[in-house]
């Protein structure tokens, strides 16, 4: 399980860089993203995070 908490008042554009900062997590079962404005994120955010689950 991985939780990512953004700031209600701050910039959460850093969230799209998380998949590049972490190693592959093939046993990751759940991903929770809280207090993040998804409109500020890279359009490929789901694809970027899927790499964590796939371990590639």
pLDDT in tens, 24-45: 888 888 999 999 988 888 899 9
Residue 9 sits at φ, ψ, to 5 deg, of -110, -15
CA dihedral 37, 30, 45, 10 (to 10 degrees): 30
Closest to 35 measured CA to CA, from 56, 1, 9, 14:
9
pLDDT at 56 over 70: no
The whole-number average pLDDT for the span 12-25 is 90
Q: What's the total number of domains in the chain?
A: 1
- Give residue 36's domain range: 2-53
């Amino acid at each position: 399980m991985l939780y990512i908490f953004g700031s209600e008042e701050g910039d959460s554009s850093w969230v799209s860089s998380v998949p590049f900062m972490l190693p592959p997590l093939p046993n990751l079962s759940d991903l929770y993203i809280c207090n993040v404005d998804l409109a500020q994120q890279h359009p490929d955010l789901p694809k970027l995070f899927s790499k964590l689950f796939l371990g590639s």
